[in-house]
């Protein structure tokens, strides 16, 4: 009985940890809906997102006009103000490509923040090229990402495995929404298979 209770406590603690928001203050969990976007050969199957090596030439479908490889969820949580947090974990199960965005905080007019991985496991920001965490996202690694966007104060932070690793104190003004999955930006190429889990959203 004691062993069982200890095990239950460990399971409970692990679940609580997996779903914890980063940062301070009181967070309210929200559950926005999403639309799946598959472009140029990208495939989303549940929480698993796969891009082939190169695009299939098609530009039809939502979010596909630039012909880039994409398999993503576009969340319908559009906001212009308030404080918004995303949390989730990804694990790359195969990767022969590089410069692939796994998480975006997108503006309707501006492509704002794109978190991306390189084939060496670095996580970086596509917009300003800054390295966010070195070598932590190799094939098989589970990486927890939290992003906090204070649209009132125009601040944006990224937490990698619980540690604040990127801050922008001059975020732009726009209407924003969250995306995750896999997307090859200008300099990127496939292939990749990545699985996301423990996806949560909070607001303040
Ligand atoms: C290319 O892939 C997309 C899905 O990502 C699919 O909808 C489209 O039909 C494919 N086009 C061709 C020509 O294979």
Each domain of the chain, given as residue ranges in start order, spans 2-203
Q: How many Å apart are CA 65 and CA 132, to the nearest integer?
A: 29
For residue 10, give the H/E element and its range. Answer: helix 2-18
Q: Is 33 helix (H, G, I), strand (E, B) or coil?
A: coil
Q: 72: Cβ below 6 Å to ligand 1?
A: no
Pocket test for ligand 1, best of 36, 40, 64 (most atoms within 8 A of CB): 40
Report the pLDDT value the prediction gives residue 3, as an integer from 0 to 100: 52
Write the pLDDT tens digit of every residue in 74-128. 999 999 999 999 999 999 999 999 999 999 999 999 999 999 999 999 999 999 9
Taking the alpha carbons at both ends of the chain, their separation in whole angstroms is 40
CB of 88 sitting under 6 A from ligand 1: no
pTM across the whole model: 0.90
55 CB near ligand 1 (under 6 Å): no
Phi/psi region, residue 25 (left: phi>0; alpha: psi -120 to 50; beta: rest), is left
Class in CATH terms, 2-203: mainly beta
* 97 Cα: distance to centroid of ligand 1 (angstroms): 19
């Amino acid at each position: 009985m004691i062993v069982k209770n200890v095990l239950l406590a460990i399971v409970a603690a692990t679940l609580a940890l997996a779903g914890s928001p980063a940062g301070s203050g009181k967070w309210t969990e929200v559950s926005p809906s999403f639309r799946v976007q598959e472009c140029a050969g990208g495939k989303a199957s549940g929480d698993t997102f796969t891009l082939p090596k190169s695009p299939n030439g098609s530009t039809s479908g939502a979010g596909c006009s630039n012909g880039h490889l994409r398999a993503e969820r576009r969340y319908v949580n559009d906001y212009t103000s308030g404080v918004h947090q995303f949390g989730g974990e990804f694990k790359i199960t195969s990767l022969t490509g590089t410069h692939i965005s796994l998480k975006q905080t997108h503006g309707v007019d501006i492509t704002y923040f794109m978190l991306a991985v390189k084939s060496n496991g670095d996580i970086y920001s596509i917009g300003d090229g800054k390295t966010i965490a070195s070598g932590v996202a190799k094939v098989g690694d589970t990486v927890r990402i939290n992003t906090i966007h204070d649209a009132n104060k125009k601040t944006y932070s990224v937490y990698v495995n619980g540690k604040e690793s990127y801050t922008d104190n001059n975020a732009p003004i726009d209407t924003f929404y969250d995306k995750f999955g896999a997307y090859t930006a200008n300099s990127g190429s496939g292939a990749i298979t990545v699985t996301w889990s423990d996806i949560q959203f909070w607001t303040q």
